[in-house]
Amino acid sequence: MIRILQILIILFPTTLCGQSGQAFQFSGQASVWTNINPGNQKPVWAGVRYIPQANYEIPQKNSKLIDFEVSANIFGSTNFGSSSSRSTDGQIKPYRVWGRYSGNQFEMRLGLQKINFGSAAMLRPLMWFDRMDPRDPLQLTDGVWGILGRYYFLNNANLWLWGLYGNEEPKTWEVGPTAVRTPEWGGRLQIPVWRGEAALSAHHRQVDTQSFVPFSTGLSKIPETRVGFDTKWDLEVGLWIEASLISKHRDFGMLTHQHMVTTGVDYTFGIGNGLNAMIEHLWFAPGRELFDWVESVNFSAFSASYPLSIFANINAIVYYDWKNNQSYNFINIKQDYRKITFYLMGFWNPDTFQLPQQTGSESLFSGRGLQVMLVYNH
């Protein structure tokens, strides 16, 4: 990925001079937050974050376009508990760094980027490359390094092809990191169907098994293939199915295969300004043999959203763990003031998180508490 950065750094300033119609834009998002959780070992946390973003466009002939995006994630947090347990954290890291060549029916994007797809919203078997949490007001997620090509057919079908490299940290649903200096690749075909759409996705990588000694096969790498299916129909209600099968090509114990299926439905009731309700259910089962599992895990999720006015909204999300009979409860009140948005969030959760696809914030939202956030966009 260092080579990709070098390419973008070389290309970006080269294009700053000499062509008409070029457009440069700088924007950013600043946020501050305070989390109060009396039952936590660290009851008061406060943090700041700034995401500066630069975009540059170079129009080409025949409606073609070359454009670039560079942004950073700059954040820090501190705990205001007792001095003996006080801790701080902070980091500056690239958030998006990519260049793109696009036309009316295609695009090719190279660099650090977000890749996400699928029909589910809260419990997502196809969360292969992102970690967006529906409860996060900022919808933050780290990107992946790679190249992505997309072609859009005239009948609204579209084809995706991607290749990834240099993403050694485990992503959502991954058991074991990707082996160092090995590429990943995959693709997706989405087609229109009766009153909706359907898609098939696939991905292949090499798993580094060194950190999983109990399941060691004597190999340092094990090939892994994922196959996904999702579909969504717009009927009187919205209906969707999203499924994923992640299979390793060698014995890896009960984690050799991961089977996941989510079904969902949503509907907007004609109550007041319109009450939108959504329900999803996730079935997850690991197994040593394909389509043969000993036990499964079931999670349900419910979301309700109501616009209080043009500038205000209230949203509630509840997850339920059927195996442990535990619920995860979240409510968010949002108020817009021109460029500033105010969020007041409340949560009532178990002390220990068992939810899948977490983003790393579960320690802040364990137990019961409140979070206040101010966001400024410029």
Considering the domain architecture, whether residues 123 and 82 belong to the same structural domain is answered as no
- Please check whether residues 63 and 192 belong to one and the same domain: no
DSSP designation for 119: S
Alpha-carbon distance of 69 to 173, in angstroms, equals: 28
What average pLDDT values come out for the chain (378 residues) when binned by 10 residues?
46 46 92 90 90 97 96 93 73 97 97 97 96 92 97 97 93 89 97 96 92 58 96 96 96 90 97 97 94 90 97 97 94 95 95 67 77 97
With a CB cutoff of 8 Å and minimum separation 6, the contacts of 47 are 32, 33, 35, 75, 76, 77, 78
Could you say which of 78, 101, 124 is where a domain stops? Answer: 101
Q: Which of 37, 70, 101 is the last residue of a domain?
A: 101
The answer as to whether 243 is a domain residue is yes
**Per-residue pLDDT, 18:** 42
Statement to judge: residues 29 and 173 lie in one domain: no
Burial 119-152 (b: 16+ CB within 10 A, else e): bbbbbbbbbbbbbbbbbebbebbbbbbbbbbbee
**Count of domains for the chain:** 2
Q: Could you tell me if 94 and 123 lie in one domain?
A: no
**How many Cα atoms sit within 13 Å of 102 on the Cβ side?**
16
Q: Is residue 151 part of a domain?
A: yes
**pLDDT value of residue 42:** 76
Structural domain includes residue 149: yes
Could you give the CA distance from residue 11 to residue 93 in angstroms, rounded to a whole number? 21
SS3 (DSSP) at 140: coil
Q: Does 123 lie in the same domain as 86? A: no
C-alpha closest to that of 115 among 99, 136, 96, 102:
96
Whether residue 109 lies inside any domain: the answer is no
Please indicate, yes or no, whether residues 13 and 151 belong to a single structural domain of this protein. Answer: no
- Contact (CB, 8 A) for 37 and 367: yes
- Determine the Cα–Cα distance for residues 123 and 243; give it in Å rounded to an integer: 11
> Per this entry, what is the length of the chain?
378
Rounded to 5 degrees, what are φ and ψ at 263?
-115, 145
Cα 285 to Cα 120: distance, rounded to the nearest angstrom: 18
* 307 and 248, same domain (yes or no): yes
The angle at the Cα of 277, spanning 302 to 236, to the nearest 5 degrees, equals 125
Q: Are 139 and 81 in a shared domain?
A: no
Name the burial class of residue 265, with classes exposed (0-12), middle (13-18) and buried (19+) by CB atoms within 10 angstroms of its CB. middle
Q: Give residue 308's pLDDT.
A: 96
Are 301 and 280 a contacting pair, CB within 8 Å?
yes
The domain spanning residue 262 has which CATH number?
2.40.160
Give the three-state DSSP class for 11. helix
What is the per-residue DSSP string for 245-299?
EEEESS-BTBTSEEEEEEEEEEEEE-STT-EEEEEEEEEEEEESBTTB-S--EEE
Residue 42 CB contacts under 8 Å (≥ 6 apart), including other chains: 79, 81, 85, 87
One domain for residues 86 and 118: no
8 Å CB contact between 88 and 73: no
Residue 107 lies in a domain: no
Domain for residue 108, yes or no?
no
**Residue 211's pLDDT is what?**
64
User: Is the same domain home to 80 and 125?
Assistant: no
| Angstrom distance (rounded) from CA 93 to CA 71 | 9
| Last-in-domain residue among 74, 101, 128 | 101
Spacing of C-alpha 80 from chain mean position: 30
For residues 175-211, b (16+ Cβ closer than 10 Å) or e, as one string? Answer: bbbbbeebebebebebeeeeeebbbebebebbbbbee
Could you tell me the sign of the dihedral formed by the alpha carbons of 6, 109, 130, 245, in that order?
Answer: negative
Q: Could you tell me if 79 and 226 lie in one domain?
A: no
- pTM of the predicted model, to two decimals? 0.89
Burial of 369 (0-12, 13-18, 19+ CB in 10 A): buried
CA distances from 258 to 159, 261, 302 (A): 25, 10, 24
Please state, as a whole number, how many other Cβ atoms lie within 10 Å of the Cβ of residue 220: 12
CB 96 within 8 A of CB 71: yes
Q: Say if 106 falls within a structural domain.
A: no
Q: Are residues 203 and 87 in the same domain?
A: no
Q: Is residue 203 assigned to a domain?
A: yes
Q: What is the pLDDT of residue 20?
A: 56
Predicted local confidence at residue 252, as pLDDT:
85
The boundaries of the domain holding residue 11 are: 1-101
Strands 368-377 and 23-36, bridge-based pairing? antiparallel
Q: Which amino acid is at 120?
A: A
